Structure 1
Amino acid sequence: MPECRLLLVDDHAMIREGLCALLADVPELTVAGEAEDGQQAIALCRALQPDLVLMDLNMPLLDGVSALSLIARRWPAILIIALTSTVSEHNAALALEAGAVGYVLKRSRREDLLQAIAQVRLGKIYIDSGLDAAQVMALRGGGQAAGISLTGRERQVLKLVAEGARNRDVAEILCIGLKTVETHRLNLMRKLDAHNAADMTQWAYRLGLLEGDQ
């Protein structure tokens, strides 16, 4: 395979150093840069134009799902693999719906990560063997859980609201208008029969958006 330039995104320096060490002896893989949060990841994607991004999902300033969604929209040629500790089919479906092409658990072996990189470079989707791939694909695109059907954007808004973000914060993070956020929030409250932020937070947990997010 031709050379593949990687961007590593994780808020823990030891994780990034470990990934660099794991990938150091793979001839076709080159670490082009490192980012410690979603905002840095977007800036480095603009500056470096990497071929592939390994993205943690739980980071400060801008979470991984929101960051990978923005990257996937702005630079569709960049491949993104979510690399996370979260064992959740719901979170995997959300990541894929947002634009990731792979979901790898941090507890997996080096060989699994290399296989994931190889498969997504061939145009395939990779789901870690520690997850129920059929369930992930069933959830993908519909955002269905507990009888509720949400769009990918609605799930992003719900997660941010549950994490305490105000409407203006959500608008800035997702690069959408304030009126659009307000519309999404009203639609969420109607779909979920939620009357306040506390109700929405409970739904975020039930839908797996906040479950063990690391």
Structure 2
Amino acid sequence: MIADEHGVIRDVLRRLFADAPYIDVVADAGDGHATIAACRAHRPDIVVMELQLPSLDGIDTIRAIRRRWRDTRILVLSATTTEIRVAEALNAGAHGYVLKRSSSGTLLDAILALRASQQYIDAALNLDQIESMRRQTIKVGSHVTSALLTTRERQVLKLIAEGGRNRDIAERLTISPKTVETHRLNMMQKLDAHNIAELVRWAHRLGIAPL
């Protein structure tokens, strides 16, 4: 199945895969929650998905799929080129990562690799750096903190980076403004961020929100 926010991308991928006799597209989805619902309904062998998904971040979507359907393999097809985001996707359970700027042949090779139970990382990415980031933590000032925030913190951080106020974020996530504020303070402590601008920079650095 295909998961991407943009309908044009989903249509292009459907046409590409239609010419591959070994690929049958069973579903597509435009956000994280719809992706999980489609997996529940169709149990795809492989999910080709973007990381920047509405409603539920791609990393959290990967975790949810891997918890529920261990045999489903996940190939990230993303415009996000930072190795830290690749490392985060792999740590969440993805089996491969291809850049959208790469050729269609690269994407098809990646799908074949996943079918053969192999990992596939785009050759344009620095594999040594990715593996190092998978093992290490990020050192920020005098604090050492994991690159991974909780699912809810990631959701809140994404909405903060998109310009959401506490009240707006609370309504979006169906939580109280006080809870949003608590998450914000926790993230500031973890990331040694002193204001909203620094939190937004972290959202970009971690790939939670696009630049």
TM-score range, shorter chain: 0.7 to 0.9
Instruction: Supply the AA of the counterpart residue of 1:64.
Output: G
Pairing partner for 2:47 from 49, 53, 66: 53
Q: TM-score when scaled to structure 1?
A: 0.78
**Mapping for residues 8-87 of structure 1, pairs under 5 Å:** 8-87=2-81
Aligned equivalents of 2:14, 2:121: Cα separation in 1: 22
Q: Secondary structure at the match of 1:83?
A: strand
Q: Kindly tell me: are residues 171 and 140 of structure 1, through their superposed partners in 2, closer, same or farther at Cα, counting changes over 3 Å?
A: farther
Instruction: Supply the AA of the counterpart residue of 2:153.
Output: V
User: Does the 8 A contact of 1:160 with 1:170 survive in 2?
Assistant: no
Q: What is aligned with 1:203?
A: 202
How far has the Cα of 1:109 moved from its partner? 1.1
User: Does the 8 A contact of 2:95 with 2:119 survive in 1?
Assistant: yes
The more displaced of 24-33 and 187-196 is: 187-196
Q: CA RMSD in A?
A: 3.0
Q: What is aligned with 1:152?
A: 148
Deviating 4+ runs (over 6 angstroms) = 169-173, 181-184
Q: Secondary structure at the match of 2:108?
A: helix
Q: Percent identity?
A: 40
Gaps (5+ residues) in structure 2? Answer: none
User: Does the 8 A contact of 2:52 with 2:209 survive in 1?
Assistant: no
Instruction: Supply the AA of the counterpart residue of 1:8.
Output: I
Q: TM-score when scaled to structure 2?
A: 0.79
Gaps (5+ residues) in structure 1? Answer: 1-6
Q: Kindly tell me: are residues 129 and 169 of structure 1, through their superposed partners in 2, closer, same or farther at Cα, counting changes over 3 Å?
A: farther
Instruction: Supply the AA of the counterpart residue of 1:161.
Output: L
Q: Kindly tell me: are residues 184 and 126 of structure 1, through their superposed partners in 2, closer, same or farther at Cα, counting changes over 3 Å?
A: farther
Aligned equivalents of 1:110, 1:119: Cα separation in 2: 14
How many residues get paired? 201
Aligned equivalents of 1:22, 1:172: Cα separation in 2: 39
Aligned equivalents of 1:15, 1:98: Cα separation in 2: 24
1:94-147 Cα offsets, whole Å, 9 max, x none, are 111122111111111121111111222223221111211111111124353667
How far has the Cα of 1:196 moved from its partner? 4.5
Aligned equivalents of 1:197, 1:132: Cα separation in 2: 31
1:41-90 Cα offsets, whole Å, 9 max, x none, are 01010011111100111122222222122111121211111111111111
Instruction: Supply the AA of the counterpart residue of 2:209.
Output: L
The more displaced of 182-191 and 21-30 is: 182-191
Q: Kindly tell me: are residues 152 and 29 of structure 1, through their superposed partners in 2, closer, same or farther at Cα, counting changes over 3 Å?
A: same
